[in-house]
Copies of this chain bind each other. A is one copy, B any other.
């Protein structure tokens, strides 16, 4: 086991800076030894931040290839723009360095296949940093599923339902990668919230797989109205013809017969939700009122008055808290996004230190990220079914 590991971070926008400060530098045995951003001011700011936090200035560059080639690094964390995630992860693996990619969708299926092939060729693990897989509720529900509490699982829902109108349209000098994507593409661009946790509880790539999807997008109204309302007709985005539909519904079929409904919903006013819903033959969980409904409870007979039981999910933590969270709560929750970031980054760093496999691997990354490009294709084809490749090439039946 390597007690201390040296990590390079590529991409120091809001996410990169936040995770460096909250969940990279504070992890035991992790040294942020190099930082990189294509914008010199950001590379500088990243180095300043690490120096402020640790007293030691990391190597800083605007050239990701230079960072990846640094021989002293054990791992590369990619918190850059979406388009860069897979290419940089591939390059890191080729240099023998553990790679970790922040959340994004893929742009082509070919990228997803390359990611898998590079891992299979090099044997170097690459982790997809889907923090929602470490959500306390997500893990409790997964634990309940594993223990059979919901019976046979038939249907799941999830989504990335987050009002991003300000973020998309007002980033510093429009550097934000979301802007160009919303201008030019129409798809579920961020599927792994909440597909990741759902795929895990449905054993995707482990005896089950996603076989096809259909995707339909609403018209695009939210961003234009937002720009006009907040900044007016002289704003540089006032005349943009946004490609991205406001709400994208995607229905995925799995080989065992389950369906998964995922939604992208980021350009209309709303309260945040990951829309997490799990339906089984014995019960259900629904995030939007945080309720668990069990077929064998006396209250379940009153199908028409479940309101008194809204927000009852916490009653289940005592019995079904996931072991990861039991330990985490005992040690003290830290970092962003309700503590999920600490866990997902921690899991990666532990794998690097122990030189073991990562818990969310290239097969998961490829399958989840591919949903983006496949939803784009399906939308263009009027919601037609498109096949989801088996990135394990048959190995899902034996994993």
* Contacts known (A272-B306, A281-B268, A307-B311); A247 close to B218, Cβ less than 8 A: no
- Bound form: Cα–Cα A259–B264 in Å: 13
Chain A count of residues within 8 A CB distance of the other chain: 62
- Bound form: Cα–Cα A146–B248 in Å: 25
Q: Check A221 for interface membership: any CB of B closer than 8 A.
A: yes
- Bound form: Cα–Cα A290–B220 in Å: 26
Stretch with Cβ within 8 A of B (4 or more), from A67-75, A78-86, A365-373, A377-385: A377-385
- Bound form: Cα–Cα A257–B307 in Å: 34
Q: Are B269 and A289 in contact (CB under 8 A)?
A: no
Binary CB contact string for chain A from 222 to 240 against chain B (1 if under 8 A, 0 otherwise): 1001100000000000000
* Contacts known (A221-B152, A259-B218); A293 close to B269, Cβ less than 8 A: yes
> Which residue of B has the minimal Cβ distance to A251?
B216
Q: Are A269 and B247 in contact (CB under 8 A)?
A: no
Q: Are A259 and B251 in contact (CB under 8 A)?
A: no
- Bound form: Cα–Cα A251–B379 in Å: 12
* A154: contacting residue among B218, B249, B283, B310, CB under 8 A: B218
Q: Are A268 and B259 in contact (CB under 8 A)?
A: no
Q: Are B154 and A257 in contact (CB under 8 A)?
A: no
Q: Check A199 for interface membership: any CB of B closer than 8 A.
A: no
Contacts of A284 in B (CB 8 A): 268-270
* Contacts known (A251-B216, A383-B383); A289 close to B310, Cβ less than 8 A: yes
Contacts of A272 in B (CB 8 A): 303-304, 306
Q: Closest 8 CB pairs between A and B?
A: A219-B257, A271-B306, A269-B295, A214-B383, A382-B385, A218-B259, A155-B247, A216-B251
| A to B CB contacts below 8 Å, 13 in the list | A152-B225, A154-B221, A154-B222, A155-B247, A155-B268, A218-B259, A219-B257, A221-B281, A270-B303, A271-B305, A271-B309, A272-B306, A384-B384
